[in-house]
Structure 1
């Protein structure tokens, strides 16, 4: 069995190494995605002064009046005084397409600070971090292909975590005495031994984090295709409002942004929530608003959502972070684990470091395979006199 597992670990690792280098390096940066984006683009994220913001409905009305082709579907209120408001937009029916999908707005007067196309490859600082995120998540491949590919890589990586761990276990006794050196890096070793020790020791010390990153990555990329069906089969889960069929005729949403926000805040107070509003999203196809409570990178289970009917203001559904059935709790943990925010700033630092370790594991693994391959080739040639004679003739001809 062990030779077969060695074969599996070797070639699965080689197949996914390049993808893991990209995922590791981009993931390290994305552990501090918001901070890096704001640092690179202060002109988009910050405004002078801290005047009272316009209400979401008034702000949306001003933007749609200035840009009649724009359909606003998400509003991100300012986190604090001096922050801009971010609008996620699309083109209204009959207006073609837009070359941007984010608008940054001064919350006090509705003036436009800037626009960008989230995830587009453009050589400027405004688009850098969103592009890094898209590269991490989809390799910038079109449609769902990139997400499926990286989800498949995560599944293979998750399997390889177990295989790699098993291969570190020593054969024979005393077990602990033989296993202990594998957790360490030999001082003064040559390049091959150094790379082998780095590969084994770093993988062992961070094994649990690496496995959780692989699991959460697969769950996020293959959520509806694989993760949710498997989770629902194993644990009780609640039905999700987004999974409801879209009505043939879109409902008329008589409630506006301000109405939905007021209704959601009332429900949040009733439930004892004391968290800021992070996002208001209008799903016009289903006819509801989603109001998210809880900012990015808060420790714990992440944000909570309240869904409000756009036709009569009823509370349709509530997704409370860390609440619901057992399956809901597991599902809500996947993004906080993957980003590190489940443990706050220390968790994000750990994810940043682990992303670099993933790159190290990939590079050292390929190096160890390459050196072993050279050694095997050399041994075969040594045992084959004809090969040696042929090589000598070539050198003589030169």
Structure 2
């Protein structure tokens, strides 16, 4: 009896944790399966903005020149982020922010041909102002990220992600046979499906249990990484309690003098990056983005290095003072601190930015599996509920 009571509580916990999160996970799974191919689908829907013809012999134009052209076309906006990486066949994306005193921008994402400098178009990201093709994939991203409800939606999904992570552990524990001799050896049937002589309900139960076990590690990674995206007040204390992490940028000293403009700051940032690479023994593969948020006392240079996992956008970052160009901090995705290395793996496994097309396809199938597990769990509960009422 003492062994049966805890198991009964776990069964109850698994049931209600699953029911509370089922609708959210159904939506997250379906949208996530599409977002595994987010860039490809968006480009297929909007090729006039996202696809360009790359000249064979010409190098892309200076990103700072492209930045000036975008600012001239949108004088009501600022450009806190400067993309530095020109990919073959792809347009350059510039993200706008309103100037002080401007309440609203009609568009906030501008597409530029990095070889000709032509502005190809712009859209209001995540909205349908310019038709369903322009808004579909960004809106799906907003649904997946925050239920398209902003910070309240992110908080709700963060809580659901935490419930999901706990439920992953509870569900896996429940598949273990009750304590006794050769417990692990008797665990085998939980991984299998009964087909002969089994009714539809037993087959569905076996499928729900087995398909939750086989990809369990990936499902837990998706759950816990979702907590990192949406519920950092829980994720960071847990991870910092378990692992070491790198520090953020040091405080920049304000001297009250003139600040570096974007051209001079980029020169300084490149020099600091080269020095850091020699000192810390990493190799810079290419530059990704240069940025400075309004009012921030530093610039940030984002790079892709051999310490990165992300095959699309590097996550190596360094910060320099906005006044003197002094190096304020360096972040390496791998090899500098265990906690940052673990988080780098979690984030890239969630986003599907490593191992190319095979993992991209696996991630898309995983999204469908999450949706199916949620739906089947609700159905099994409903059937048992009906049976108990009849009894």
Q: Indicate the residue corresponding to 1:126 in structure 2.
A: 134
- Shift of the alpha carbon at 1:203? 0.4
Shift in Å, 1:244: 5.8
Measure the CA separation in 2 of the matches of 1:60 and 1:177. 63
Q: Which moved more, 1:19-28 or 1:71-80?
A: 71-80
Cα deviations by residue, 1:90-148 (Å, 9 ceiling, x for unpaired): 11112331022111112234332111122225542222211111111101113x21111
Is the 1:301–1:332 contact (alpha carbons within 8 Å) kept by the matching residues of 2? no
Q: Give the aligned partner of residue 280 of structure 1.
A: 290
The one of 188, 196, 201 equivalent to 2:210 is: 201
In 2, Cα distance between equivalents of 1:305 and 1:292? 5
Separation in structure 1 between the aligned mates of residue 257 and residue 384 of structure 2, nearest angstrom: 64
Q: Which residue does the alignment assign to 1:157? A: 164
Q: Which residue of 2 aligns with 1:366?
A: 378
Q: In the TM superposition, what are the counterparts of 1:230-379 in structure 2 within 5 Å? A: 230-241=238-249, 252-256=258-262, 258-270=263-275, 271=277, 272-294=282-304, 298=310, 303-379=315-391
Quick one: structure 1 residues 168 and 300, their matched pair in 2 at CA, closer, same or farther if it must change by over 3 Å?
A: farther
The aligned length equals 374
Cα displacement (A) at 1:280: 1.8
Q: 1:252 to 1:164 in 2, by over 3 A?
A: farther
Are positions 1:87 and 2:87 aligned together? no
2:303–2:314 CA contact under 8 A, matched in 1: no
| Paired position in structure 2 for 1:98 | 105
SS of 2:96's equivalent in the other structure is strand
Structure 1 portions without partners, runs of 5+: 380-398
- 1:147 and 1:307 map into 2 onto residues whose CA distance is 28
Match of 2:29 in 1: 24
For normalisation by structure 1, the TM-score amounts to 0.85
Asked if residue 226 in structure 1 is aligned to residue 234 in structure 2, the reply is: yes
Name the CA distance, whole Å, in 2 between partners of 1:213 and 1:361. Answer: 14
Give the equivalent residue in structure 1 for 2:11.
6
Note the alpha carbon deviations across 1:307-334, whole angstroms, 9 max, x for none: 2333222222211220322223233333
Partner of 1:191: 200
Structure 1 contact 305–318 (Cα < 8 Å) conserved: yes
Q: Mark the structure with the bigger radius of gyration.
A: 1
TM-score (norm 2): 0.87
Runs of 5+ unmatched residues, structure 2? 1-5
